[in-house]
Amino acid sequence: MNTSKHLAKLMALAGALALGSAVFAQQETPAAGLAQTAMRIWPDSFAMGAQSQARWSYDQGVILKGVEGLWKQTGDVRWFNYLQHSMDFFVQEDGTIKGYRPDEYNIDHINNGKAVLLLYRVTGKEKYRKAAMLLRNQLRTHPRTAEGGFWHKNIYPNQMWLDGLYMGQPFYAEYAKVFGEDTIFNDVTRQFALMERRSRDPKTGLLYHGYDESRQQKWADPATGRSPHVWGRALGWYGMALVDALEQYPAGNPGVDTLTGILNRFAASITSLQDKASGVWYDIPALPKEKGNYLEASASSMLIYTLAKGVRLGYLPAKYLANAKTGYAGLLQQFYKVEGGNANLHGTVSVSGLGGKPYRDGSFAYYMSEKVIVNDPKGMGAFIQAANEMDLVKNGLVGMGKTVLLDRFFNNEYRAEFGEQKRFHYTWEDMTHSGFATMGSLFRDRGAKTLSLDAAPTAANLKGANVYIIVDADTEKESAKPNFMTEESARNIAEWVKGGGVLLLFANDKGNAELAKFNTLASKFGIRFNEDNHNMVKNDQFEQGAVAIEATNPVFKGVQKVYVKELASLALSAPAQAIVKKDGLNVMATAKYGKGMVFAIGDPWLYNEYVDGRKLPADFQNHEAARALVQWALTQGKK
């Protein structure tokens, strides 16, 4: 590595963190506070204890998943920059990973792959794709039990641990989604189902820490192969793995029902062990009164995360939010401490395992012998993730039970990727600058389901939607056979809005979108997109694209300044009314139509490039505007 360049990167990152400290301090969220502590402890790479050199370690991936959540929720690029800087220490330009040895067949080494996949999906850089493929290839030859379960490690033959489901399966499922390797989902489903079947106590529903298919380990029950105890963090790993993997599954995949069933059984069992006095969980949850047992931070964080995210994604009943809220209050009281101006997490057991040298027999005495430390990275990462989820609960899950439908009929563009034509441009899946992934994430953050509509809108396929979004209708330049707006489609959409739907129209300037036919729809609400082009921006002169938002704006409460470039102005008549103007031009409008509402702007505007924080100067509030519009859209229309 070029030492001078590396030092420059470190100095730049340190400067960014220093500049951001005031912002983070103002936020005063526990997630941000503990993430800052992690960034201070591990500013560049990852080394623990007496280690002098950084290592490719799953612990780091737990923290980075929490940091990813902060970036997505806030649009603050400092979080993304830290994540990328951390991974770039290991991922080389040719896609190799410093310190990673596939032939070790350690399932733990797969966990950081989630951060690698994120970087590939956001930046499109080839080195991240190659690194992700390297990790996926380990799973092609990873040793398995006779029933097809991944061994935890090559040095632990025939064994599956609950920990291993978290280390491998969420990455495996996301890889399947990103690269279209759909058969992987069957394997992911098998891993969870197998582990539940082999480790579950039929009386309590609880899952034991480990399972030895060979029954050769001294810790293994000779009849069942299970380890002697239910360990709190192992339960946490399994629960987090379930909700994170489920998030990647395509709608309609039979594995969704299988994993949802497992998750519901899991939630029932773990909430029965939640300590009533503190709200959190013991290290050995089934033995709360056993001498020496203690309340443990990482397990509690993980189980809170599992319950809260399971509810938000619609896989668990809403009743479990009460358990999550009680647990989070206990988590803050028991373990989260601000000391000397720094946030710290107390009460995390450093490690617990089975077998190995010296031998760990899985007894209660063994679990109690492991050290409990402050600022263990596994606990910190789990806490940040749990705190992120609870911040979403605090802000209100107004989208629960609602569906947001994104058009992929009028906007239907493709590009070549590794010899295949793949859909892109304003889609939920696209995390590059051209996508709508950030908006999709914001809708799901509020409990809504996001789907896409590939066909012309009809009464039948709009029936289940609460919000319908159409972005940048294609011209012949963008699609060989564009689907233009018709009177029939416009009438179907208008009837749906009249019945209580919320329609978001994001057009584009003249030359970059079809407007004449698109106005067949817009005119039904008193809106016409003019064939003009305003707010022109030269290069990076961002102020040329500034648009002021008045304090009384009915949609963008708390937003003062946004960036919109090259927009088509709006001509309005009743029932439409302007909500944002610039230089006498109508920039944004709403229209009440029957029981529903319409929002319109002559620009795609809220795609990733101008929402995820990686491009615009920090004083533009496009991310805040996106959050406000999402909140507004989910609270309009029929109740």
Task: Decide: helix, strand or coil at residue 471.
Answer: strand
**Which residues, listed in sequence order, are joined to residue 562 by a DSSP beta bridge?**
547
Q: 58-74 and 437-445 are packed helices; what angle lies between their axes, rounded to 10 degrees? A: 90
182 catalytic? Reply is no
Nearest CA among 592, 568, 594 for reference residue 582: 568
CA distances from 234 to 66, 216, 389, 486, 504 (A): 19, 21, 20, 56, 44
The angle at the Cα of 156, spanning 151 to 161, to the nearest 5 degrees, equals 55
What is the number of residues in the chain? 639
DSSP character for 639?
-
**What is the distance between the alpha carbons of residues 320 and 318, in angstroms, rounded to a whole number?**
5
In sequence order, what DSSP letters do the residues of 116-155 get, joined into one string?
Answer: HHHHHHHH--HHHHHHHHHHHHHHHH--B-TTSPBPSBTT
Going by C-beta distance under 8 Å and a sequence separation of 6 or more, which residues neighbour residue 241? 165, 166, 169, 170, 192
Structure-block tokens of residue 546: 């500034």
Going by C-beta distance under 8 Å and a sequence separation of 6 or more, which residues neighbour residue 596? 496, 497, 498, 499, 500, 501, 502, 503, 636, 637, 638
Structure-block tokens of residue 72: 């997505």
Positive or negative: CA dihedral 84, 88, 90, 96: positive
In sequence order, what DSSP letters do the residues of 285-337 get, joined into one string?
Answer: TT-TTSTT--B-HHHHHHHHHHHHHHHHTTSS-TTHHHHHHHHHHHHHHHTEE
Nearest CA among 404, 310, 318 for reference residue 629: 404
Q: Exactly one of 59, 76, 163, 445 is catalytic; which is it?
A: 163
**What is the distance between the alpha carbons of residues 621 and 75, in angstroms, rounded to a whole number?**
9
Active-site residue list? 163
